[in-house]
Amino acid sequence: MSSTVSEGAAATGRALAAIPSPQVNSIPIGPLEIHFYALCILAGVIVAVLWSEQRWKAMGGEQGTILDMAVWAVILGLIGGRLYHVISDAQLYFAEGREPIRALYIWEGGLGIWGAIPLGAVGVWIVARKRGLSMTKLSFAIAPTIPLAQALGRWGNYFNQELFGRPTDLPWAVEILPYPEGHLRPGMEFGVTTYHPTFLYESLWCLGLAVLLAWAGRRFESSLQGGRLFALYVMGYCVGRFWIEYLRVDPANDFFGLRLNNWTSILVFAGALAYFVWAGRRLDSFSTAVVPHGADAGTQVFGPTADGEMGNDDTVYSTTDTGDSDLGTRGSDAGTEYHPSPERSSSEGSTSNDEGTGSGTKPE
Protein backbone atom coordinates (compact mmCIF):
# COMPACT_ATOMS: atom_id res chain seq x y z
CA MET A 1 0.00 0.00 0.00
CA SER A 2 2.74 2.49 0.96
CA SER A 3 4.68 1.61 -2.17
CA THR A 4 1.62 2.23 -4.34
CA VAL A 5 0.97 5.57 -2.64
CA SER A 6 4.61 6.64 -3.10
CA GLU A 7 4.61 5.75 -6.78
CA GLY A 8 1.36 7.62 -7.27
CA ALA A 9 2.72 10.69 -5.52
CA ALA A 10 5.89 10.57 -7.61
CA ALA A 11 3.89 10.32 -10.81
CA THR A 12 1.74 13.28 -9.75
CA GLY A 13 4.86 15.28 -8.95
CA ARG A 14 6.33 14.57 -12.35
CA ALA A 15 3.08 15.54 -14.04
CA LEU A 16 2.96 18.83 -12.14
CA ALA A 17 6.60 19.59 -12.94
CA ALA A 18 6.35 18.77 -16.64
CA ILE A 19 6.14 21.64 -19.12
CA PRO A 20 2.43 21.78 -20.00
CA SER A 21 1.38 21.46 -23.60
CA PRO A 22 0.01 24.66 -25.15
CA GLN A 23 -3.74 24.77 -25.47
CA VAL A 24 -3.68 26.80 -28.70
CA ASN A 25 -1.14 27.40 -31.45
CA SER A 26 -2.79 30.28 -33.27
CA ILE A 27 -4.97 33.35 -32.80
CA PRO A 28 -7.86 34.14 -35.18
CA ILE A 29 -8.00 37.80 -36.17
CA GLY A 30 -10.96 38.33 -38.46
CA PRO A 31 -10.51 36.15 -41.54
CA LEU A 32 -6.83 35.60 -40.71
CA GLU A 33 -5.23 32.98 -38.47
CA ILE A 34 -2.01 34.14 -36.83
CA HIS A 35 0.12 31.12 -35.95
CA PHE A 36 2.50 31.27 -32.99
CA TYR A 37 5.04 29.33 -35.06
CA ALA A 38 5.25 32.26 -37.47
CA LEU A 39 5.36 34.79 -34.63
CA CYS A 40 8.32 33.01 -33.02
CA ILE A 41 10.24 33.08 -36.30
CA LEU A 42 9.31 36.72 -36.85
CA ALA A 43 10.49 37.63 -33.35
CA GLY A 44 13.82 35.93 -34.03
CA VAL A 45 14.26 37.79 -37.32
CA ILE A 46 13.49 41.19 -35.77
CA VAL A 47 15.88 40.70 -32.86
CA ALA A 48 18.63 39.44 -35.18
CA VAL A 49 18.26 42.38 -37.58
CA LEU A 50 18.29 44.98 -34.79
CA TRP A 51 21.36 43.47 -33.15
CA SER A 52 23.15 43.04 -36.48
CA GLU A 53 22.46 46.67 -37.35
CA GLN A 54 23.99 47.74 -34.05
CA ARG A 55 27.09 45.61 -34.58
CA TRP A 56 27.46 46.72 -38.21
CA LYS A 57 27.21 50.40 -37.29
CA ALA A 58 29.85 49.92 -34.58
CA MET A 59 32.14 48.48 -37.26
CA GLY A 60 31.79 51.67 -39.32
CA GLY A 61 29.03 50.47 -41.61
CA GLU A 62 26.03 52.50 -42.67
CA GLN A 63 22.82 52.17 -40.72
CA GLY A 64 20.05 50.46 -42.66
CA THR A 65 22.40 48.16 -44.57
CA ILE A 66 21.42 45.04 -42.62
CA LEU A 67 17.73 45.86 -42.90
CA ASP A 68 18.04 46.09 -46.68
CA MET A 69 19.80 42.74 -46.80
CA ALA A 70 17.33 41.13 -44.40
CA VAL A 71 14.51 41.42 -46.94
CA TRP A 72 16.37 39.21 -49.41
CA ALA A 73 17.89 36.98 -46.75
CA VAL A 74 14.58 36.23 -45.02
CA ILE A 75 12.67 35.52 -48.22
CA LEU A 76 15.35 33.25 -49.66
CA GLY A 77 16.03 31.73 -46.24
CA LEU A 78 12.41 30.70 -45.82
CA ILE A 79 12.40 29.17 -49.29
CA GLY A 80 15.65 27.33 -48.65
CA GLY A 81 14.55 26.12 -45.24
CA ARG A 82 11.26 24.79 -46.56
CA LEU A 83 12.90 23.14 -49.57
CA TYR A 84 15.35 21.27 -47.35
CA HIS A 85 12.57 20.07 -45.06
CA VAL A 86 10.33 18.93 -47.90
CA ILE A 87 13.16 17.18 -49.75
CA SER A 88 14.61 15.48 -46.67
CA ASP A 89 11.16 14.42 -45.39
CA ALA A 90 9.45 13.88 -48.71
CA GLN A 91 7.48 10.92 -47.34
CA LEU A 92 5.47 13.32 -45.19
CA TYR A 93 4.01 14.99 -48.27
CA PHE A 94 4.33 12.68 -51.26
CA ALA A 95 3.80 9.19 -49.84
CA GLU A 96 0.59 7.33 -50.63
CA GLY A 97 -2.35 8.92 -48.87
CA ARG A 98 -0.54 12.18 -48.20
CA GLU A 99 -1.49 15.64 -49.47
CA PRO A 100 1.34 17.19 -51.53
CA ILE A 101 -0.27 20.63 -51.27
CA ARG A 102 0.65 20.66 -47.56
CA ALA A 103 4.28 21.08 -48.56
CA LEU A 104 3.35 24.74 -48.99
CA TYR A 105 1.79 25.03 -45.51
CA ILE A 106 4.83 26.55 -43.86
CA TRP A 107 2.79 27.68 -40.85
CA GLU A 108 2.34 24.04 -39.83
CA GLY A 109 6.06 23.78 -39.12
CA GLY A 110 8.98 22.39 -41.01
CA LEU A 111 11.98 24.61 -41.79
CA GLY A 112 15.43 23.13 -42.20
CA ILE A 113 18.23 25.38 -40.98
CA TRP A 114 20.55 23.53 -43.36
CA GLY A 115 18.67 25.06 -46.28
CA ALA A 116 17.77 28.38 -44.69
CA ILE A 117 21.31 29.56 -43.91
CA PRO A 118 22.92 28.89 -47.34
CA LEU A 119 20.06 30.41 -49.33
CA GLY A 120 19.73 33.29 -46.87
CA ALA A 121 23.45 33.93 -47.36
CA VAL A 122 22.79 34.23 -51.09
CA GLY A 123 20.40 37.08 -50.30
CA VAL A 124 23.10 38.83 -48.31
CA TRP A 125 25.63 38.23 -51.09
CA ILE A 126 23.33 39.77 -53.72
CA VAL A 127 23.13 43.08 -51.86
CA ALA A 128 26.77 42.97 -50.71
CA ARG A 129 28.05 42.44 -54.25
CA LYS A 130 25.90 45.23 -55.64
CA ARG A 131 27.19 47.68 -53.03
CA GLY A 132 30.76 46.45 -52.90
CA LEU A 133 30.67 45.38 -49.26
CA SER A 134 32.80 42.73 -47.62
CA MET A 135 30.95 39.47 -47.04
CA THR A 136 33.39 38.46 -44.32
CA LYS A 137 32.82 41.72 -42.45
CA LEU A 138 29.08 41.21 -42.77
CA SER A 139 29.41 37.66 -41.48
CA PHE A 140 31.30 38.99 -38.44
CA ALA A 141 28.43 41.34 -37.63
CA ILE A 142 25.74 38.73 -38.22
CA ALA A 143 27.31 35.59 -36.70
CA PRO A 144 26.16 35.95 -33.05
CA THR A 145 22.69 37.13 -34.03
CA ILE A 146 21.67 34.03 -35.99
CA PRO A 147 21.74 31.61 -33.04
CA LEU A 148 19.77 34.16 -31.03
CA ALA A 149 17.12 34.15 -33.77
CA GLN A 150 17.14 30.35 -33.70
CA ALA A 151 16.73 30.34 -29.92
CA LEU A 152 13.50 32.32 -30.29
CA GLY A 153 12.28 30.53 -33.40
CA ARG A 154 12.57 27.07 -31.81
CA TRP A 155 9.67 27.91 -29.49
CA GLY A 156 7.44 27.59 -32.53
CA ASN A 157 7.96 23.82 -32.27
CA TYR A 158 6.61 23.96 -28.71
CA PHE A 159 3.37 25.61 -29.81
CA ASN A 160 3.00 23.07 -32.64
CA GLN A 161 3.84 20.16 -30.26
CA GLU A 162 6.37 18.77 -32.73
CA LEU A 163 9.99 17.64 -32.99
CA PHE A 164 10.09 16.41 -29.39
CA GLY A 165 12.49 13.81 -28.04
CA ARG A 166 12.27 10.36 -26.49
CA PRO A 167 9.83 9.59 -23.67
CA THR A 168 11.10 10.69 -20.26
CA ASP A 169 9.82 11.31 -16.76
CA LEU A 170 12.32 14.05 -15.96
CA PRO A 171 10.85 17.07 -14.14
CA TRP A 172 11.41 19.29 -17.18
CA ALA A 173 9.73 16.90 -19.64
CA VAL A 174 7.27 18.47 -22.07
CA GLU A 175 3.72 17.24 -22.19
CA ILE A 176 2.57 16.20 -25.66
CA LEU A 177 -1.09 15.47 -26.34
CA PRO A 178 -2.66 13.64 -29.31
CA TYR A 179 -4.29 15.64 -32.08
CA PRO A 180 -7.80 16.93 -31.30
CA GLU A 181 -9.11 14.24 -33.64
CA GLY A 182 -7.58 11.63 -31.34
CA HIS A 183 -4.72 10.16 -33.37
CA LEU A 184 -1.13 10.32 -32.16
CA ARG A 185 1.35 12.94 -33.28
CA PRO A 186 4.45 11.78 -35.22
CA GLY A 187 6.85 10.13 -32.74
CA MET A 188 4.35 9.64 -29.94
CA GLU A 189 3.95 6.33 -28.14
CA PHE A 190 0.57 5.06 -27.03
CA GLY A 191 -0.08 5.95 -23.40
CA VAL A 192 3.01 8.18 -23.11
CA THR A 193 2.53 11.94 -22.76
CA THR A 194 5.89 13.30 -21.49
CA TYR A 195 8.96 13.60 -23.73
CA HIS A 196 12.34 15.31 -23.87
CA PRO A 197 11.77 19.00 -24.76
CA THR A 198 14.31 19.11 -27.58
CA PHE A 199 13.00 22.51 -28.62
CA LEU A 200 14.08 23.83 -25.22
CA TYR A 201 17.47 22.10 -25.39
CA GLU A 202 18.22 23.67 -28.75
CA SER A 203 16.90 27.07 -27.68
CA LEU A 204 19.19 27.13 -24.65
CA TRP A 205 22.14 25.83 -26.68
CA CYS A 206 21.68 28.56 -29.30
CA LEU A 207 21.30 31.22 -26.62
CA GLY A 208 24.59 30.14 -25.04
CA LEU A 209 26.22 30.03 -28.45
CA ALA A 210 25.12 33.61 -29.19
CA VAL A 211 26.69 34.83 -25.94
CA LEU A 212 29.90 32.88 -26.63
CA LEU A 213 30.24 34.27 -30.15
CA ALA A 214 29.63 37.84 -29.02
CA TRP A 215 32.31 37.47 -26.36
CA ALA A 216 34.78 35.74 -28.68
CA GLY A 217 34.26 38.38 -31.38
CA ARG A 218 35.18 41.09 -28.92
CA ARG A 219 38.02 39.22 -27.22
CA PHE A 220 39.67 37.76 -30.34
CA GLU A 221 38.44 40.20 -32.98
CA SER A 222 41.58 40.31 -35.11
CA SER A 223 42.00 36.53 -35.33
CA LEU A 224 38.32 35.82 -36.06
CA GLN A 225 38.09 38.00 -39.18
CA GLY A 226 37.79 36.58 -42.67
CA GLY A 227 34.56 34.71 -41.89
CA ARG A 228 36.13 32.70 -39.06
CA LEU A 229 33.61 33.91 -36.47
CA PHE A 230 30.80 32.71 -38.70
CA ALA A 231 32.57 29.38 -39.16
CA LEU A 232 32.78 29.15 -35.38
CA TYR A 233 29.00 29.64 -35.21
CA VAL A 234 28.47 26.86 -37.74
CA MET A 235 30.70 24.44 -35.83
CA GLY A 236 29.09 25.30 -32.49
CA TYR A 237 25.60 24.81 -33.86
CA CYS A 238 26.51 21.48 -35.48
CA VAL A 239 27.83 20.11 -32.18
CA GLY A 240 24.62 21.00 -30.36
CA ARG A 241 22.35 19.86 -33.17
CA PHE A 242 24.07 16.45 -33.34
CA TRP A 243 23.22 15.37 -29.79
CA ILE A 244 19.82 17.05 -29.81
CA GLU A 245 18.94 15.35 -33.09
CA TYR A 246 19.98 12.06 -31.54
CA LEU A 247 17.18 12.48 -28.95
CA ARG A 248 14.40 13.24 -31.42
CA VAL A 249 11.80 10.65 -32.35
CA ASP A 250 9.93 12.34 -35.19
CA PRO A 251 10.01 10.46 -38.51
CA ALA A 252 13.31 10.88 -40.36
CA ASN A 253 15.43 9.09 -42.93
CA ASP A 254 18.14 6.96 -41.31
CA PHE A 255 21.51 6.00 -42.78
CA PHE A 256 23.86 3.56 -41.05
CA GLY A 257 22.10 4.03 -37.72
CA LEU A 258 22.06 7.84 -37.75
CA ARG A 259 19.39 10.30 -38.80
CA LEU A 260 19.95 12.37 -41.92
CA ASN A 261 20.43 15.55 -39.88
CA ASN A 262 23.14 13.83 -37.82
CA TRP A 263 25.10 13.15 -40.99
CA THR A 264 24.44 16.69 -42.18
CA SER A 265 25.81 18.02 -38.88
CA ILE A 266 28.99 15.99 -39.31
CA LEU A 267 29.58 17.09 -42.91
CA VAL A 268 28.81 20.76 -42.27
CA PHE A 269 31.02 20.77 -39.17
CA ALA A 270 33.91 19.34 -41.21
CA GLY A 271 33.42 21.97 -43.91
CA ALA A 272 33.29 24.81 -41.38
CA LEU A 273 36.41 23.52 -39.63
CA ALA A 274 38.29 23.30 -42.92
CA TYR A 275 37.30 26.88 -43.78
CA PHE A 276 38.27 28.08 -40.28
CA VAL A 277 41.79 26.68 -40.74
CA TRP A 278 42.11 27.86 -44.35
CA ALA A 279 40.92 31.43 -43.62
CA GLY A 280 43.27 31.68 -40.65
CA ARG A 281 46.26 31.42 -43.01
CA ARG A 282 45.17 34.30 -45.24
CA LEU A 283 43.45 36.87 -43.02
CA ASP A 284 45.10 39.79 -44.81
CA SER A 285 43.63 38.84 -48.18
CA PHE A 286 39.97 39.47 -47.35
CA SER A 287 38.11 42.66 -48.18
CA THR A 288 37.37 45.03 -45.32
CA ALA A 289 34.88 47.29 -47.14
CA VAL A 290 32.08 48.35 -44.81
CA VAL A 291 30.53 51.16 -46.90
CA PRO A 292 29.23 51.07 -50.49
CA HIS A 293 31.32 51.82 -53.56
CA GLY A 294 31.72 55.58 -54.03
CA ALA A 295 30.93 56.29 -50.39
CA ASP A 296 33.96 54.75 -48.76
CA ALA A 297 35.79 58.03 -49.22
CA GLY A 298 33.69 59.14 -46.25
CA THR A 299 35.05 62.69 -46.59
CA GLN A 300 34.09 65.50 -44.32
CA VAL A 301 34.06 68.96 -45.84
CA PHE A 302 35.01 71.95 -43.71
CA GLY A 303 34.65 75.47 -45.03
CA PRO A 304 32.67 76.77 -48.01
CA THR A 305 30.75 74.25 -50.15
CA ALA A 306 29.99 74.49 -53.85
CA ASP A 307 27.19 76.98 -53.26
CA GLY A 308 29.29 79.15 -51.00
CA GLU A 309 27.53 77.84 -47.89
CA MET A 310 29.44 76.77 -44.83
CA GLY A 311 29.35 73.06 -44.04
CA ASN A 312 29.41 72.04 -40.41
CA ASP A 313 31.67 69.45 -38.86
CA ASP A 314 29.00 66.78 -39.07
CA THR A 315 28.43 67.08 -42.81
CA VAL A 316 29.67 64.05 -44.76
CA TYR A 317 29.99 64.16 -48.52
CA SER A 318 31.05 61.67 -51.15
CA THR A 319 31.08 61.62 -54.93
CA THR A 320 27.68 59.97 -54.87
CA ASP A 321 26.29 62.53 -52.43
CA THR A 322 27.13 65.64 -54.41
CA GLY A 323 26.82 64.36 -57.93
CA ASP A 324 29.74 66.60 -59.01
CA SER A 325 32.75 65.12 -60.75
CA ASP A 326 34.91 68.14 -59.83
CA LEU A 327 34.59 67.69 -56.08
CA GLY A 328 38.29 66.93 -55.82
CA THR A 329 39.13 70.08 -57.77
CA ARG A 330 37.17 72.26 -55.41
CA GLY A 331 39.24 70.74 -52.63
CA SER A 332 42.12 72.95 -53.77
CA ASP A 333 40.15 76.05 -52.81
CA ALA A 334 41.36 77.81 -49.71
CA GLY A 335 39.44 76.90 -46.62
CA THR A 336 38.39 73.46 -47.87
CA GLU A 337 39.94 70.36 -46.33
CA TYR A 338 39.21 66.68 -46.88
CA HIS A 339 39.44 64.30 -43.96
CA PRO A 340 38.91 60.59 -44.71
CA SER A 341 37.18 58.79 -41.88
CA PRO A 342 39.41 56.08 -40.37
CA GLU A 343 36.38 53.85 -39.81
CA ARG A 344 35.55 53.92 -43.53
CA SER A 345 38.79 52.79 -45.02
CA SER A 346 38.68 49.59 -47.03
CA SER A 347 40.70 47.39 -49.30
CA GLU A 348 38.11 47.79 -52.02
CA GLY A 349 37.36 50.84 -54.07
CA SER A 350 39.81 53.11 -52.27
CA THR A 351 41.04 56.20 -54.11
CA SER A 352 44.40 56.48 -52.41
CA ASN A 353 47.35 57.91 -54.37
CA ASP A 354 50.74 59.24 -53.52
CA GLU A 355 50.36 62.77 -54.84
CA GLY A 356 48.30 65.65 -53.55
CA THR A 357 45.78 67.40 -55.77
CA GLY A 358 46.56 70.87 -54.57
CA SER A 359 47.23 73.07 -51.61
CA GLY A 360 44.90 72.54 -48.73
CA THR A 361 43.87 69.11 -50.03
CA LYS A 362 44.78 65.90 -48.27
CA PRO A 363 44.63 62.90 -50.63
CA GLU A 364 43.05 59.64 -49.38
Residues at the binding site are 154
Q: How many helices (DSSP H) and strands (DSSP E) are in the chain? A: 13, 10
Instruction: List Cβ neighbours of 273 (8 Å cut-off, separation of 6 or more).
Output: 231, 235
Q: How many angstroms separate the CA atoms of 146 and 153, rounded?
A: 10
How far are the Cα atoms of 52, 70, 152, 230, 231 from residue 236, in angstroms, in the given order?
A: 19, 23, 17, 10, 9
What is the SS3 assignment for 33? strand
**Are the C-beta atoms of residues 2 and 157 closer than 8 Å to each other?**
no
How far are the Cα atoms of 14, 117, 299, 305, 319 from residue 308, in angstroms, in the given order?
A: 79, 51, 18, 5, 18
Closest CA to 200 of 233, 168, 229: 168
**Are the C-beta atoms of residues 151 and 44 closer than 8 Å to each other?**
yes
Tell me what percent of the chain is helix, strand and coil, each rounded to the nearest 5: 55, 10, 35
Q: Could you tell me the sign of the dihedral formed by the alpha carbons of 279, 280, 283, 285, in that order? A: negative
Q: How many angstroms separate the CA atoms of 217 and 290, rounded?
A: 17
Instruction: List Cβ neighbours of 29 (8 Å cut-off, separation of 6 or more).
Output: none
